[in-house]
Amino acid sequence: MGVAQFLQPMETKKESLDIINEDEEKKIILREYRALLRALRERIKKGDKAKLRRAFEMAAEAHKDMRRKSGIPYIMHPLAVARIVVEEVGLGITSSICSLLHDTVEDTEITLEDVKHEFGENIAKIIDGLTKISNVVDIKANTTVQAENFRKILLTLADDPRVILIKLADRLHNMRTLESLSREKQLKICSETTYIYAPLAHRLGLYQIKSEMEDLAMKYTHPEVYVEIARCLKETKRDRTKYINEFIKPIKEELTNSNFEFQIYGRPKSIHSIWTKMKNKHVTFDEVYDLFAIRIILKSEPEREKEDCWKVYSAVTKFYHPGAERLRDWISVPKGNGYEALHTTVMGPGGRWVEVQIRTERMNEIAEKGLAAHWKYKDGAPSVQENKLESFLLHLREILNNPETDTIDFIQDFKLDLFTEEIYIYTPKGDMRVLPKNATILDFAFDIHTHLGFNCIGAKVNYKLVPLSHQLKSGDQVEIITSSKQKPQKEWIDFVITAKAKSTLKNYLKAERKKTADEGKALLQAKFADLHVPLNQINLAELLAHFKKTSGTELYYGIAVGNVDLRDLREFTITGEKLVAPLRDAARADQKVVVEEEIESATAKAAVPKGTEILIFGDQSDKVLYKLSQCCQPIPGDNVFGFKASDGIRIHRTDCPNAARLLANYGHKIIKAKWAKNKEISFLTGVKIFGLDDVGVIQKITNVISGDLRMNMRSLSIDSQDGLFQGNIMVYVHDREELNALCAKLGELEGIHSIERLESSADQG
C-alpha cells in the first residue's frame, strides 16, 4: 500500500460514516509518517527517504487488518515507536526503518528473508534481534525460560545496542497506552518495566525515559499514591514557579554580566522519585527537601566546558550556601554510563533546599539521549565515556557467553549493578576503575582479572593492610595481595556485590561442587556394585526420600564430603526387603519415575485449576490451600494476586516488595485473586510510627487503639533516642478501612510525625 493511497477512499460497501472514519484514520496515519520525516530532516541522506517510505508501505500493508486493544490501527504503534527512537532517543534512519518493521516478522507473513532482500543484512540483523526478544513480556513459561529471554535481551545489548534502544522505545509506547488493557495485564507489564527496562534505560543514560517508565508504572501499581502526589504537584505549581523565578533572578543577572550564553529553568522532579524520597526518608511531600530543582545549560566550547561549569558553580554559591555533603562532580569523573554534570544542593530563600544541575549543551544531550548521543559526538579516538560503555558491554558479553553462568542468578545480580551509585578506585599505578558503592577488595580484584580474584588473600588500601571483605571508598588506592595457594571460598559470595564477582564465584563453586559430586557418585556406584544392586532411577528415588535429599547431585555431594554414610545401606530397606539383591517386583519397574524438576510443580498444580479466580475467605475458601504472604501482610481492601507455590497459593499485595520480581519472572504461576466480604475474620497487620519522645506518648497510643477504636493489639515496641521515638505496632483489623482509620487517628496525636504501614523484608513466594 503506497503512501499516496492513504489519500484515496478505499473500495468498500460500508456506510458513509464508516468511510469518513476510515479516511480520517488514513489522514492521521499519514500525518504521523510526515511528522517522522520532519524529525529526520537533518539526518536524511540521498536515497534514505525512499527506503523509509518503502518500510512504511511494507509495515502499513502487513498490519492493515490489525488493530491495537484500544481500537486504533496497528500501524500507529510502529510509527509512534519510530518517532520516540528519533525524537527522544536520538537515533537515525536505520533505527527508524527497524522501528517501523519491528513487529512484522513476529506478527505478520513477512519473513526475515523478505526484510533482508528489501533492506539488506544490517537491518535484517536488528529486526532479528527485536524478534528474538519480542516475547519476553508475554511468554507464559517457567522461570528458566523467562530468565533466558532476559539473557537474550542483554546479549543483544552487547552485540548491537540499537536493538535494546528500539526495544526501550517500544516498551515506552506500550506503557503510554496501557489504559486499554486488563488490570492483570497492566500489573504484569508494569512489573516487568520496573524490573528490567527502567534499570536498563538508567544504565544506558536515558534518564528521561527511565523516569517516565517509572512514573507510568506507578500510575497503575500504586494509583492512590500517584494521584495524591500529582495533586500536590498541581496545587503547589504556582508557588513553586514563583519561588523558582525568585531563586534564579540573581544567578541569571550574574551569568549575563559574565557574558555566558545559557538557559536556566526549573526542573520538575518525577512523581516516582518524590515517592521514593518520601519512603526512604520517612517524610511527607512538603518535607522532600530537593523538591525544587534548577538546571543551568551552557553553550560552551569543548576545551572550556569544565572551566565554565565551575565558574557557574561559583556564581550560584555567591548567592546561596551549598550543602557540604551534596556536591557531585561528574565532570572530572563522569558516571559509568557517560553522564557528565555538576550537582549541588544549596539553601535558597525561606530556608528551602534547592538542587542545582550545571551542564553544557553537549552534556545535556548525552544526559537526555544517553548512548545514542555518544555516537553523535564520536570524533576520532573514543572518549573516556565511550571506553566505559564499551568496557561495560564487553564485561556483559564475557559473562553471558559463559555456558556455566546461571541465568536466573545473573539477572538478579546484574540488576543490582544497573541502579547502584558509583565509586572510583585507583590501582598502584594510578589507573582508575569504576565500581558500585560498597564494593569490596574482592570486587576490585575480580574487576581487574578473574585469576586475581581467585588468588586474592588481602590488600593494601592507602598503604594499610585490610581483609578481603573491606568495603572501599571513592578515592582509595588499592594494591591486591595474592597467593598461588589461595582458592575461592563459599563465604566470599556473602560480601561481594558486583555481578561479575558473584557470577564468576558461583560458576567456580558450582564446578567444584560438581567435581565433588562426581566423586560421590563413583563411590555410590561402587557400593551398589558390591551389593549386586543396580543404581537405577527407582532405587535412586528411594535413596533420595530416605536420606531426605532433593536431587541426585545433593546426595552424591553428601556422600563425597561424608554427610551421608554409605554403611547405612546394609540396613536400608525398600518395600520390606533389604537392599542386598536386585528388586524382583517387576511391576515397580513399570512405574513412572518422578523427575526431580516435577517435584515442586506437582503440589502447585494440584492447588488450583488453571485460570481459577480465587475468592479469599468466601464460600470457596475451604477448597483452596492458601497463605497470606508475610512479606506484605495483605488485608481485605488491598489489591492482591495469587502465586502458585509448592505449598499452595501465596497471596501478595500488588505493591508488595517482591511483586515486581514475581510478576516479571513467574508469569505462569500468577493467578487473579480478590477478597470476598467477611467482617468476622481479623487480620494481623502493623504500622510504623515516628514522633517526639514525650511523657505519656505510649499511653496516648494505647488509648487510641484499645479505647477509641477498640482494636485488639498484639504487640507494641518503642525505641527512643535523642528526643525522638520509633515504634512498631501490630494490631488485628478486619480490612484496610480500619487500618486507614487507625493511621488517621494516630496522626491526630500531638507529637506524632509520621505513620506508615509496616512492611516485612521476608522474601516470599
Catalytic residues, by residue number, are 106-107
As beta bridge partners, residue 292 has: 354
CB atoms within 10 A of CB 11: 5
Which single residue is written with the C-alpha cell 509520621?
A: 754
The C-alpha atoms of residue 47 and residue 204 are separated, in whole angstroms, by 31
The C-alpha atoms of residue 63 and residue 73 are separated, in whole angstroms, by 8
Sign of CA dihedral 519, 521, 522, 527: positive
Spatial CA neighbour of 664 closest among 632, 641, 638: 641
Sign of CA dihedral 170, 175, 179, 181: positive
The C-alpha atoms of residue 536 and residue 380 are separated, in whole angstroms, by 65
The C-alpha atoms of residue 14 and residue 321 are separated, in whole angstroms, by 70
The C-alpha atoms of residue 642 and residue 671 are separated, in whole angstroms, by 5
Question: Which residues are CB-neighbours of 598 under 8 A, at least 6 positions away?
Answer: none
Question: Which residues are CB-neighbours of 197 under 8 A, at least 6 positions away?
Answer: 167, 168, 171, 213
Sign of CA dihedral 44, 49, 51, 57: positive
- Alpha-carbon distance values, 322 to 254, 258, 289, 344, 443 (Å): 17, 21, 13, 7, 34
CA angle 96, 100, 106 (to 5 degrees): 130
Spatial CA neighbour of 509 closest among 399, 406, 596: 406
CA angle 346, 351, 356 (to 5 degrees): 25
Spatial CA neighbour of 570 closest among 558, 562, 578, 582: 578
- Indicate left, alpha or beta for 685 from its phi (over 0: left) and psi (-120 to 50: alpha): beta
Tell me the one-letter amino acid at 556. Y
Element of type H or E holding 80: helix 76-84
Cell of 104: 512484522
Which single residue is written with the C-alpha cell 516488595?
A: 657
As beta bridge partners, residue 330 has: none
CA dihedral 556, 561, 564, 570 (to 10 degrees): 90
How is the beta sheet containing 478-482 ordered, strand by strand? 464-466, 456-461, 478-482
CA angle 495, 500, 501 (to 5 degrees): 30
Sign of CA dihedral 82, 97, 166, 113: positive
